Amino acid sequence: MKLSVNVCNIRLSNPTILASGILGTTKALLKRVAESGAGAVTIKSVSTEPREGHKNPTVITFDAGMLNAVGYSNPGVVAAAKEFASLQDVGVPVIASVIGTQKEDFVRVVAGLSGSEFSAIEIPLSCPHTPGFGLLAGQGTPQATFDITSAVRKATELPIFVKLSPNIPEICAVAKAAEDAGANAITAVNSMGPGMIINIEAQKPILSFKVGGVTGDALRPIAIRCVYDLYKAVKIPVIGVGGISTGRHAIEMIMAGASAVGIGTGVYYRGIEVFKRVCEEMTLWMEENGFDDVNKIRGVAHD
């Protein structure tokens, strides 16, 4: 059974990738996720300066997923470069997630991480809950996406993944802007919303930032649709993220057109072992349905 895939010339032993923002705070945790079966891992997003993020509660769950507004807490690029040194120890490709409030910040962070052995740079232009970043800074428009991606393109030779929001009706236009600016892959999608959960006894929103990005089961059908549309709209590979926690979900996402699948909230549903279990379940499904190579199911949902 062949589970290995190739994304922008990065070889993944299987199509599962740890999505950014989950467990990617330290190299030790990345290594643990790799040992738990992930084909690649993504670090928690890094900005130029250290950020404390929002106050708690920052992450809560509900019956159809998770709501988070962590607020991009991270130690800043200098400390991150130290933390994520000698990345070959991790054992699988490591993707750097880079954020900024303006395009110059992205370039500075990419430069600051250039001494580390990252396999790709991901730029999420789509966070729905952090002032100054992503959607709240207007980075999700085709023009802003083009400008930031172009600036990062000049700053690195590594593959660039542009991570998009599911909220935007013209997601394909944004993806094309990224492709035109030299992006090598689209990561679809970031969390949706923002949403809100109110504790009715407290009579107040639970998250300290009041609103947060929605992930998990609630996001999956939307993520599948986005990937399905993007697969036809752009020539570069699409990494499908959103609500994947089982092998069947992963197969579904690949049928929509994904070259690889990101897993985040799945860690909540099924523990760190989710990566291994998704791969086992994919293998089983493929055996039962007469497939010997995961690459042969990519995009089969299309006419």
Partner 1 sequence: MIEQPRMVKICDIWDESPSVKTFFFKFDLHFDPGQFVMVWIPLLDEKPFTISYIRNDLMGVSVLKRGMFTNALHNKKIGDMIGIRGPYGKGFGLQTNPDFCVVGGGIGMASLATVVDRLNDATIIQGARTASEILYQKRFKDMNLCTDDGTTGFKGTTVDLFRKLLTRRRFQKVYACGPEKMLYKVVELCRNHGIECEVSLDRYIKCGFGVCGQCDCSGQRVCVDGPVFNIKELSKMKDFGKVTILKTGARVVY
Tokens of 60: 């809560």
Contacts (CB under 8 A) with partner 1, residues 156-195: none
| Of 127, 172, 226, 279, catalytic | 127
| 127 classed as catalytic | yes
What CA–CA distance (Å, rounded) separates 39 from 103?
A: 30
Binding mask 16-55 for partner 1 (x = CB under 8 A): -----xxxxxx-xx-xx-----------x-----xxxx-x
Strands (E), 71-210: 94-97, 120-124, 160-164, 185-188, 192-195, 198-199, 204-205
Please select the residue that binds partner 1; options are 57, 91, 132, 182, rule is CB under 8 A. 57
How many other C-beta atoms lie within 10 A of the C-beta of residue 272? 18
Report if residue 101 touches partner 1, rule: CB under 8 A.
no
Count of positions on this chain that bind partner 1 (CB under 8 A) = 45
Report if residue 131 touches partner 1, rule: CB under 8 A.
no
For residues 202 and 288, which CB has a smaller minimum distance to partner 1 in the complex?
Answer: 202
Contacts (CB under 8 A) with partner 1, residues 109-128: none
Contact of 191 with 169, CB cutoff 8 Å? no
Please select the residue that binds partner 1; options are 267, 278, 279, 294, rule is CB under 8 A. 267
**Residue count (the chain):** 303
For residues 57 and 182, which CB has a smaller minimum distance to partner 1 in the complex?
Answer: 57
Report if residue 303 touches partner 1, rule: CB under 8 A.
no
Q: Sign (positive/negative) of CA torsion 169, 170, 175, 181?
A: negative
Angle subtended by helix axes 142-155 and 171-180, to nearest 10? 30
For residues 225 and 270, which CB has a smaller minimum distance to partner 1 in the complex?
Answer: 270
Please select the residue that binds partner 1; options are 56, 111, 138, 287, rule is CB under 8 A. 56
Picking from 69, 67, 33, the residue whose alpha carbon sits closest to that of residue 51 is 69
Please select the residue that binds partner 1; options are 271, 284, 293, 300, rule is CB under 8 A. 271
Report if residue 264 touches partner 1, rule: CB under 8 A.
yes
Contact of 261 with 250, CB cutoff 8 Å? yes
Amino acid present at 126: S
Report if residue 282 touches partner 1, rule: CB under 8 A.
no
Q: How far is CA 269 from the centre of its chain?
A: 17
For residues 196 and 301, which CB has a smaller minimum distance to partner 1 in the complex?
Answer: 196
Contact of 182 with 153, CB cutoff 8 Å? yes
DSSP string, 162-192: EEE-TT-TTHHHHHHHHHHTT-SEEEE---E
Please select the residue that binds partner 1; options are 75, 91, 132, 182, rule is CB under 8 A. 75
Report if residue 276 touches partner 1, rule: CB under 8 A.
no
| Active-site residue set | 127
- Give residues in contact with partner 1 (CB under 8 A): 21-26, 28-29, 31-32, 44, 50-53, 55-62, 66, 68, 70, 73-76, 79, 83, 197, 199, 201-202, 204, 206, 208, 264-265, 267-268, 271-272
